[in-house]
Amino acid sequence: MAASEDSNTLFPIFIFSILALPLVPYTIFQLYHLATKKAKIAKCQCSVCLQSGKYHKSIFRRISNFSTYSNLTLLMLWVIMVLLAYHIKSSSHEVEIFEPFSILGLEHGATDSEIKKAYRRLSIQYHPDKNPDPEAHNYFVEYISKAYQALTDPISRENFEKYGHPDGRQGLQMGIALPQFLLNIDGTSGAVNLLGIVGICIIMPLVMAVMYLSRSSKYTGNYVLKHTLSAYFYLMKPSLAPSKVMDVFIKAAEYMEIPVRRSDGEPLQRLFVLVRSELNLDLKNIKQEQAKFWKQHPALVKTELLVQAQLTRESGCLTPSLQRDFRRILEVAPRLLEELMKMAVLQRPPHGHGWLRPAIGVVELSQCIIQGVPLSARKPVGGSVEGIAPFLQLPHFSEAVLKKLARKKIRTFEDFRDLTQQDRFDLLTKTAGFSPLQSQDIETVLETLPSITFDIKCETEGEEAIQEGDIVTMRGWVTLNRSNHKIRSLPHCPNYPFHKEENFWLLLADPTSNSVWISQKVSFMDESAALIAAPKVIRESKEWAGATPKELNLAVKEAVEKVRNGSRLVIGRFLAPEEGTYNLTLFCLSDSWLGCDTKMSLKLKVLKRSRAGMRGGVAVVEEGVEDGGEEEEVEEDELYDDDESEYSEDEADVEHEVVDDDDDVNDDDDEDNDNDEDKKEN
């Protein structure tokens, strides 16, 4: 009976321990992660974003944000742990030490007569003949009798003095940490318990593991279906025009799974009329083009129309069922566009380069989806290469407003940004007819626009020149600046209903050959990761160069300061091509903002590898930052003789050996001539 009680007590302790082992460290990690978030992410404070409700923290939104599966599971496990702790505390009992003097109500050192008197007094009160209560009988047998025996019987007293109990050594009681019904195995109940144990402990974990693995095997690390990557890889072409990227984007497997209902036919027909001008249909054969469009797979038709509803900001006419599909399409769009970008810049044979033209098209589509701007607005107009699209991302702007600004010779987005704050305010209030509050909204968004600067170099580590077949390292810093001096900031995108962090794609490309040599995704949101990665790389490079500890610490400190001021270290490597001069361009493309892309020209000079491996000359790098239509180039053309090259000593050794061999040959010729003369004299 005692063993069963111990088992019932041990089972909650066992479950409590199993829960506490993973739960406590995970909770501490989550709390530490929340406590170490020093820099808060800035959100757009214009009235349009505030009215959109995307960042409105009502009590219901806070509850919904907290009510995630992980948070609710964590809370439920902690509730179970608290209940188990209360149950263990209430059901546990302390181990009572056997004290015969205390049981008989005597003090230590009492005489035999006092012991007998106390025993008689308690016998009258608890003896079974005097008291029929079962508890009294149990107390008399287990405590009073054994206490009297321990003090009067010589053997019992000796056991008590040695082992602390009149019965002698007490065995160690052990229990099994399982509930009592699992221990009473007899007949049918035993078979049921066995099946339950096998089902819960073996079959259920295996079924869950198989379900998880079968589901996870369909997705990549970015939660994109592998069938989507296969389709993107097959459809990606080097000549894919930016206007045709949409046709590849909508063929994702995630979009093919969207249900097509009969009730969606009429609303989609009305939406088609609203966005028809954005579908790249041939107006000369409009009827045939429309018939061809509707003959596509219904999921493709629905996806393209809903994406165009986002671009043209016509989502207000959608039915509730289409609204759900619309939000589902937009929610996965950033992940799909990122994978589509990776397919565009994927290194392919024979030179191991990606494709520039489709990569730019993917970024342009991403910008338009996030900002809700039609692709047709990117067509060049007047002196603006990007058209009116950058203006349409600003709050309260429309094509009618742009016509008014054109009268004041504001042709490009750069011209508008270059105005002083007072001139811009006067232009918006007097010419465009905006109120002071609307002008303030526009100024708030302009202060949030990012500006990117470069400090990039391409070189061969340990050498002064770049020769054919060298591993060329592109290393440098990309710095983000804003007028409001905030680094971590969410983009202004009131028409995109989900949380979106801005990212930048850094591409080292050759526009002439439509090739991307290096591609890298740069994010300014995670400062902690950059603080770990950048100093580590700087330390390794300085240690390899043989820097002193003082120089090493100074370089690491400088790197940390740069990261905190909004810079990110970028490193890429590529194989030097054949001999020649290459006019490369370094692009930094934003996936969220329009009109904020930056590029810089790089002229790379590759020398021919000499026969003996001598290195002479340096790669000429011309750097010029282009923002809009402006470009500045700085040329450096210097030649060096690298006498300390790893190949110089080998060549010198070869020349020295050749000279020695020539001397030996001359000596042999002299000896032969002397022998010939001796023979003639004889």
DSSP notation for 397-430: --HHHHHHHHTTT--SHHHHHHS-HHHHHHIIII
Q: Find, among 461, 468, 465, the residue nearest to 616 by Cα.
A: 465
pLDDT digits (tens, 9 = 90+) for 446-491: 999 999 998 999 988 878 889 998 999 999 999 999 998 888 889 9
Task: Enumerate the H helices of 67-187 as residue ranges.
Answer: 69-91, 100-104, 112-126, 134-139, 145-152, 154-163, 180-183
Q: Which residues contact 432 (CB under 8 A, 6 or more apart)?
A: 401, 404, 405
Among 122-126, 181-185, 214-218, whose mean pLDDT is lowest? 181-185
Answer whether 146's CB lies under 8 Å from 163's CB. Answer: no
- Provide the residue count of the chain: 682
Angstrom distance (rounded) from CA 104 to CA 114: 10
- Model pTM score: 0.72
Query: Which has more pLDDT, 64 or 139?
Result: 139
Q: Where are the domains of the chain?
A: 2-91, 100-163, 185-216, 226-449, 452-626, 649-682
Please give the Cα distance from 441 to 445 (Å, whole number): 6
From residue 596, give the alpha-carbon distance in Å to each of 40, 356, 652. Answer: 23, 18, 54
Of 173-182, 301-310, 340-349, 364-373, the range with the lowest mean pLDDT is 173-182
- Looking at residue 614, its pLDDT comes to 45
CATH placement of domain 452-626? 2.60.40.150
What is the per-residue pLDDT for 56?
Answer: 62
Q: Is 396 left (phi over 0), alpha (psi -120 to 50) or beta?
A: left
How large a percentage of the chain has pLDDT more than 90?
A: 40
Model confidence at 36, pLDDT cuts 50, 70, 90, reads low
- Residue with tokens 């270059």, as numbered in its chain: 418
Dihedral sign for Cα 215, 219, 222, 224, please: negative
pLDDT at residue 364 above 80?
Answer: yes
* Cα 411 off chain centre by: 39
Query: What's the pLDDT score for residue 462?
Result: 79
pLDDT tens digits, one per residue of 563-587 = 999 999 999 999 999 999 999 999 9
In CATH terms, the superfamily for domain 226-449 is Sec63 N-terminal domain-like domain (1.10.3380.10)
Number of Cβ atoms within 10 Å of the Cβ of 640? 11
Percent over 70 (pLDDT), the chain = 78
Can you give the pLDDT at residue 191? 63
Angstrom distance (rounded) from CA 98 to CA 164:
7
Pick from 343, 368, 352: nearest CA to 235 = 343
- In CATH, the number for domain 100-163 is 1.10.287.110
DSSP state of 483: T
The average pLDDT across 396-418 equals: 88
Judge if 226-449 and 452-626 fold alike in CATH terms.
no
Kindly state the tokens that stand for 548: 């002193």
Task: Compute the average pLDDT of residues 506-511.
Answer: 95
Whose structure tokens read 């380069």?
Answer: 353
User: Are the C-beta atoms of residues 340 and 222 closer than 8 Å to each other?
Assistant: no
Which of the two residues, 8 and 537, has the higher pLDDT score?
A: 537
Q: What local confidence, expressed as pLDDT, does residue 654 receive?
A: 37
Instruction: For residue 568, give the 3-state DSSP assignment.
Output: strand
Q: What is the pLDDT of residue 639?
A: 32
Instruction: Judge whether residue 262 has pLDDT over 50.
Output: yes
Paired tokens of 495: 């028409």
- Environment class of 477 (CB within 10 Å of its CB; exposed 0-12, middle 13-18, buried 19+): middle
- For 361, the enclosing helix (H) or strand (E) is helix 356-371
Q: If you average pLDDT over every residue of the chain, what do you get?
A: 80
For residues 481 and 627, the answer to whether their CB atoms sit within 8 Å is no
> What span, in angstroms and rounded, lies between the C-alpha atoms of 323 and 497?
11
Rounded to an integer, what distance in angstroms lies between the CA atom of residue 396 and that of residue 243? 27
Structure confidence at residue 526 (pLDDT): 86
The answer to whether residues 571 and 473 touch, using CB atoms and an 8 Å cutoff, is yes
Strands 515-522 and 471-481, sheet pairing? unpaired
Q: Can you read off the two tokens belonging to residue 463?
A: 């050498």
Q: How confident is the model at residue 133 (pLDDT cuts 50, 70, 90)?
A: confident
Q: For residue 395, which amino acid is it?
A: P
